[in-house]
Amino acid sequence: MQDKLLIGSHVSMNKPKYFLGSVEEALSYGSTTFMFYTGAPQNSFRVPLEQCLINEGRAFMKENNIDETKIIVHAPYIINLASPKDETFEMSVRLLKTELVRTSAFGAKTLVLHPGSHVGAGLEFGIDRIAKGLDLALSEVNNDVLIALETMAGKGSEVGSRFEEIAEIISKCAHKDRLGVCLDTCHMSDSGYDIDDIDSLLNEFDRIVGINRVKCLHINDSKNVRGAKKDRHANIGYGEIGYKTLNKYVHHELFKNVSKILETPYIDDLAPYKQEIAMFKNGYVDHWIDEFKK
Ligand code: FE
Ligand code: FE
Ligand code: ZN
């Protein structure tokens, strides 16, 4: 169990099987971990925890040797702690608190969060506001869930596309011990980092943020060239990053105990994850999508 490659994808959580269905979906792809939203990512409606078949899902994970402490929850993306609008900021803090509680109810320890967009108020404003929002939520919900700030593509006014910005948020936060980082390969490339030079990139991250902060990896190819700031994920091998580079992150020594999560697009309404995960275990298959479509 120790040396298994920790890899999976994001999966859904829908009625009628909810969390049990999420675990089943993950296993059907050959995953050893997974990521899910505890409700629709784009709204604040949340199915009560009692309805989510959590105990059934946790028992099924145990049976199948999935370490529940490695699974990842993604916070809804309507949360925007950088918003200059008070209502949005307050709603975001409220929702973040709910998500912290919900994450822990599933046995998960990591909640991935987009830092936020300052929508014109400026980077410094955004950073201060995010740190404040994190502290408001973390001081009211005291559990063992870590918030992993995701590195962003830099689309629009997104905060957190540079490691320095992530570091500044953490340094301004009073609950530093409860913060981590989620590295997204598509986003880092879109933001302008040369992610193929993995040693330099990780050294830079270590110097600025600290490599021990990495709690999750999002493994995505990118439809756009480095620096494009577009945030369009591509299937593995079908983007500008390529399998060889992505494979270095998946198998890196430093990330042995870090969950690697695919968020690549569906192909003709079908999830590509079984094939993509298999390729990270067994090697790349040229033109695999042609075969997939048959
Ligand atoms: Fe994300
Ligand atoms: Fe991501
Ligand atoms: Zn993205």
The pLDDT, as a whole number, for residue 3 is: 67
Residue ranges for the chain with pLDDT beneath 70? 1-3
Q: What is the pLDDT of residue 40?
A: 85
- Cα(56) to centroid(ligand 3), Å: 31
Q: 58 CA distance to ligand 1 centroid (A)?
A: 24
188 CA distance to ligand 1 middle (Å): 12
* Whether the Cβ atoms of residue 44 and residue 91 lie closer than 8 Å to each other: yes
Q: What is the pLDDT of residue 100?
A: 98
Nearest-5° Cα angle at 122, 195 to 226? 20
User: Taking the complete model, does pTM exceed 0.95, yes or no?
Assistant: yes
What pLDDT was estimated at residue 2? 45
- Which bin fits 180, alpha (ψ -120 to 50), beta or left (φ > 0)? beta
Nearest-angstrom CA–CA distance, 86 and 80: 11
What's the confidence (pLDDT) of residue 1? 42
Residue-wise pLDDT tens digits, 234-246: 999 999 999 999 9
pLDDT tens track for 40-75: 888 888 999 999 999 999 999 999 999 999 999 999
Distance 74 CA to ligand 1 centre (A): 7
Which residue type does 114 have?
A: H
